[in-house]
Amino acid sequence: MRIGIIGAGQLGRMLVEAGYPLGLEFRFYDRVADTPGGQVAPIVTGEFDDHARLAQFAKGCDVVTFDWENVPVESLIPIAKRVPVYPRPDILAIAQDRLLEKTLFRDLGIPTPAFAPVDLRYDLECVLDRIGAPGILKTRRMGYDGKGQARIMKRKDAAAAFTSLDGQSLIYEGFVRFSREVSMIAARSSSGEIAYYPLSENVHASGILDETRAPARYPSLERQARRHVRAILERFDYVGILAVEFFVKDGILLANEMAPRVHNSGHWTIEGAVSSQFENHLRAITGLPLGSTEPRGHSAMVNFVGAMPTRAQALAVKGLHFHDYGKREARPGRKLGHATVVAGSAKDRDRSLARARKLKKKG
């Protein structure tokens, strides 16, 4: 079976690395060939809106998936008429628009921060009357890893925030004074089988995931997360991996955003779970039984953003699993790799995590 992956970043690369032991074949589609994915599997180059080129790419595939949620939905719909595309384009369309995403959460009864659309400066004034400040003004589309956002801490900040994002469809979200951030990753197969990974606890820096610890032992939050994630999976007859990020406030989960793909907060599963999120995504979209999501111990992952430690520095840390994404250029805010530690106890895990943190450089 050959799997086509649209987008050839580090997530696509890790999908291929998980799929080769299963006897699967892969090909990528991306704008350029010099990508993390292009280093491990054949790649076809072209623009994401070149429907003819994409159709030619899909001809040689049994199923198509993606590693980047900003692939144009209009480009996936024609492909889906020829070969299965998982996750389906309709869920991707919602995930690409923060207003549609938050509306979905509300319609499914999933708590979420207060929100409202903003198209005009006047709209923002009306929303501030209703929701108040502080809050965050965001672009509805294309923003990720902290991009496309402006904080409004006081009402006087509104004009500058709107000007910085003017010309785009916006959404205003009330600020949540949360106690922690968590995420849940789940896989659902075409037969309806669902497998949940343990809840993960996350720390962000400048809007980018900095580190993850799992499993997060909060039974009540775990039950809430499973219920909310299941509602989304079943609403869309979902196939593949889905990640949902939550804020925790007063013991209640508030859904922040979802990603219909393998997710950064699940990288710990490569070494820390019986079957990784990447393997289970492939199992789900190819109709194979899902693998066990049981943790192998207590895990932690740190992201290397903007700068990488040397291999010698990283591999000198006992028990550390080092992942270099093979990106040729380092620049501020760019994810270049990660490291994972797995231990028999949370205490030992946190000691190893402290050593892994020392490898991080500012970039």
CATH of the domain at 120: 3.30.1490.20
Residue 102 in contact with residue 115, Cβ under 8 Å? yes
Structure confidence by residue, pLDDT tens digits, 172-209: 999 999 999 999 999 999 999 999 999 999 999 988 99
What is the pLDDT, as a whole number, of residue 146? 61
Structure confidence by residue, pLDDT tens digits, 221-274: 999 999 999 999 999 999 999 999 999 999 999 999 999 999 999 999 999 999
Confidence (pTM): 0.95
Radius of gyration of the chain (CA): 20
Q: Are residues 60 and 141 in the same domain?
A: no
Confidence grade of residue 110 (pLDDT, cut at 50, 70, 90):
very high
Structure confidence by residue, pLDDT tens digits, 141-182: 876 656 788 899 999 999 999 898 877 899 999 999 999 999
Q: Which amino acid is at 2?
A: R
Residue 241 pairs with which residues in a beta bridge?
187
- Residue 19's domain comprises 2-85
Rounded distance, CA 287 to CA 240, Å? Answer: 10
Confidence grade of residue 360 (pLDDT, cut at 50, 70, 90):
confident
Query: Looking at the predicted structure, is the pLDDT value of residue 56 above 60?
Result: yes
Q: Which amino acid is at 45?
A: T
Q: Are residues 237 and 332 in the same domain?
A: yes
Q: Which amino acid is at 181?
A: E
Residue 345 in contact with residue 319, Cβ under 8 Å? no
Is 157 among the domain residues? yes
CA 50 to chain centre: 25
CA 152 to chain centre: 25
Nearest CA among 241, 226, 219 for reference residue 110 = 226
Nearest CA among 158, 151, 98 for reference residue 122 = 158
CATH of the domain at 327: 3.30.470.20
Average pLDDT, the chain: 95
Q: Are residues 199 and 343 in the same domain?
A: yes
CA-to-CA dists, residue 222 to 108, 160, 216, angstroms? 18, 39, 8
Q: Are residues 273 and 156 in the same domain?
A: no
- Among residues 155, 174, 193, the one where a domain terminates is 174
Residue 331 in contact with residue 343, Cβ under 8 Å? no
What is the pLDDT, as a whole number, of residue 39? 97
Residue 149 in contact with residue 138, Cβ under 8 Å? yes
Residue with tokens 């343990």: 198
